[in-house]
Chain A
Amino acid sequence: MSLLEVRKLSKRFGGLLAISDLDMTVEEGEIRGIIGPNGAGKTTLFNVISGTHKPTSGDVFLNGDKLTGLRPSRIAGKGGVRTFQRSAMFSDFTVLENVSIARHLHARESLFGAIVGTARGMEKANEGRALEILEFIGLTAFKDELAPNLSHGHQRALGVAMALATEPHILMLDEPVAGMNPAETERMTDIIRKLRDEWNITILLVEHDMKTVMGLCESITVLNFGKKLAEGVPAEIVSNPEVIEAYLGSEDILGDDDFAA
């Protein structure tokens, strides 16, 4: 059984069919990239899988459990967690507190417990785990910094740390290296690789930076107009004429007769 299975998925916004009849599977332990030109439906696919949007038709399964129609918090509880394109964080809190809040699923507290303060031991263990995650991501030095004071690269890393805090089976990264400088990009790709190798987390990522995608992913799904255009290992994708056309556009578009410039 595949870890993630997308069956006949469609999502319509008004007149626009953002995803149409998409089938896709992701195996346990993969690093899968999703690419495609702007407006191809990549982010919509993420939104539907993670529960932020409801699909118009079709289903999503994680470990055989149906995710369709569940809210993101429930899907996170089942092990499917996403990050955001923008830097998303709880801005009134420190870095450590952000990760600690994201441990919600594993450190729930009852109303009574909160008032009486019975959860001290659990909080300790929880904070220990949060610190481990920060160490792994390389943010330990900033743990007491307010999250909005971090640099862009560190804020994006914090986003990944918060997703990890939920202990996911599959981590969906929405443009993890967007807006990063080369050094930051390098660090982030290392982290992603280690997540799979050492933490056994399956990775699904949408990314525009082709160098990163080609270097990091073992398999790639190309979307265009909400449909699957191609799927395969990076070498196949790069040499696929349809993909090149989708990306660079075709000169044929202009028609030979009026193409004179």
Chain B
Amino acid sequence: MSAPEEVANTGLASATALRRFAPLLLLAAVLAVLCVLGFELRPYHRELAIVFFINVIMVTSYRLITTTGDWSFAHVVLMGAGSYGAALIAKHAGLPFGVVVPMAGITAAIVGAAFIIPLLRTAGFGFFIASFAMGELVRLIWVKVQFPFGGTRGIINIPSPEIVGLRLSPPVPFYFTCFIVMLAAVFIMWRLDRSRIGNAWKSIHSDDLLAECVGIDVARYRSLAFITGAFFAGIAGALLAYRMGSIDPRNFDLTTMIYLIIWVVVGGTTTFWGPIVGLVVVTIAFEWSRPLLEWRPLMFGGVLIFFLIFLPGGLESLFPKVGNALRTPPGQQFQRLRTWFTTFASRT
């Protein structure tokens, strides 16, 4: 082998290695930055980051349910089940943070299990609106029942989080607490997504009859996805309850649910990371739009419509296109842009 060839080969090898490890490096870099930010951020932005972490758990767990093809409209209420569970357990049983958070997850999972019984009878659109109605039922119970849910005023004076005598409530420890819980939750859901169970979920989305015929118990796996998703929504709810110190039914209303859907639609649900990308982008846009507070739902309503009509795959569907664009010479790119534009023009 001549020298130049050898050089070319090692170049190729390092390129594939780079491609292989690039995502890992990127992930490590993001995590490192988030660790540093935990100390460096201004209080307002740190609060924002904490909410962001909670929302990451929400979108990831929501996406977990959608892998079976079921779009739920009750996810925020299941988060609320976690919040109420956490608040009540922490307040009345006086249990520590480390026990309360998983118990909140279990509370939400139990509520989710109750939901899924009628919901299994529905699919697609019916699932969507039936889950909405079921969620409203639970929310109305919170509004209505004074003991123990506190009615419209909700639950106040939730004890601050503590673990083996360590107070987690100051901003910096709480930032890292949420950060770690988020990492653990996302990691577990990522493992599930990659597992045989995750594949069974996706196969149901792809062709439920075929899945059933090759031995996958569709009802069981749909339930499993819904209940697992509810569990993690409950964990997110527990963190929210601790952060706010008080919760009430309005925290879990329809508007919040629609925002969750906007995050997921903007990001896309085909890939594991899509919803998180959507959350990041919408959160940034949300902050920028602070001066236009009252117009905000209108803007995001428009964003939702725009994405569903013009980019139904979400931002993630652009990733391969961006990757291709970087690899193709500019002349071809121009050509491609022109064909895209003409087809786009003819469609509208």
Contact = CB atoms under 8 A, between A and B. Distances in A.
A59 interface: no
Given A90-B203, A101-B203, A163 B214 contact: yes
Contacts of B258: none
In this complex, the interface size class of chain B, counting residues with CB under 8 Å from chain A, is 20 to 34
A93 B217 contact: no
B208 to A, nearest CB: 10
A89 B214 CA distance: 11
A77 B215 CA distance: 6
Contacts of B211: 90
A133 to B, nearest CB: 12
Nearest to B213: A72
Contacts of A107: 196
A177 to B, nearest CB: 19
A89 B195 CA distance: 19
B216 interface: yes
A250 to B, nearest CB: 38
Interface string A91-107: 11100010011101101
B197 A114 contact: yes
A52 interface: yes
A173 interface: no
B199 A82 contact: no
A115 B214 contact: no
A76 B214 contact: yes
- Between B207, B210, B212, the greatest number of chain A beta carbons within 10 A of the residue's beta carbon is seen for B210
Contacts of B188: 115
A244 interface: no
B215 A115 contact: no
A104 B196 contact: yes
B205 to A, nearest CB: 8
Contact of A114 (B191, B203, B216): B191
B216 A104 contact: yes
Contact of A73 (B202, B215, B270): B215
Interface in B180-225: 188, 191-192, 195-200, 202-203, 206-207, 209-219, 224
B171 to A, nearest CB: 31
Given A101-B203, A104-B196, A52 B209 contact: yes
Nearest to B218: A73
A101 B217 contact: no
A43 to B, nearest CB: 13
B244 to A, nearest CB: 30
Given A114-B195, A114-B197, A92 B213 contact: no
B228 interface: yes
Contacts of A100: 199
Contacts of A84: 209-210, 213
Nearest to B214: A102
Contacts of A50: 213
Contacts of B210: 84, 88-90, 162
Given A72-B213, A89-B207, A104 B195 contact: no
B116 to A, nearest CB: 16
What does DSSP make chain B's interface, helix, strand, loop or mixed? Answer: helix
A115 B212 contact: no
- Between B195, B207, B270, the greatest number of chain A beta carbons within 10 A of the residue's beta carbon is seen for B195
Contacts of B198: 114
B313 to A, nearest CB: 13
Contacts of A116: 191
A74 B213 CA distance: 9
Contacts of B206: 89-93
A204 interface: no
- Between B191, B198, B211, B213, the greatest number of chain A beta carbons within 10 A of the residue's beta carbon is seen for B213
Contacts of A128: none
A123 interface: yes
A165 to B, nearest CB: 7
A109 B224 contact: no
Contacts of A165: 214
Given A52-B209, A104-B214, A90 B202 contact: yes
Given A92-B202, A111-B228, A114-B191, A71 B212 contact: yes
A165 B213 CA distance: 11
Contacts of A115: 188, 191-192, 195
B184 to A, nearest CB: 10
A123 B199 CA distance: 13
Contacts of A104: 196, 200, 214-216
A111 B197 contact: yes
A94 to B, nearest CB: 11
B210 to A, nearest CB: 4
A101 B224 contact: no
A88 B207 contact: yes
Contacts of B228: 111
21 contacts: A50-B213, A71-B217, A73-B218, A74-B217, A81-B214, A81-B215, A88-B210, A89-B206, A91-B206, A91-B207, A104-B216, A108-B196, A109-B196, A115-B191, A115-B192, A117-B191, A117-B195, A162-B210, A163-B214, A165-B214, A166-B214
Given A81-B213, A111-B224, A165-B214, 18 more contacts: A52-B212, A71-B217, A71-B219, A81-B215, A88-B210, A90-B202, A90-B206, A91-B207, A92-B202, A93-B199, A93-B203, A101-B214, A104-B214, A107-B196, A109-B197, A114-B196, A162-B214, A163-B214
The list of the 6 closest CB pairs from A to B, nearest first, reads A114-B195, A105-B215, A76-B215, A102-B214, A90-B206, A88-B210
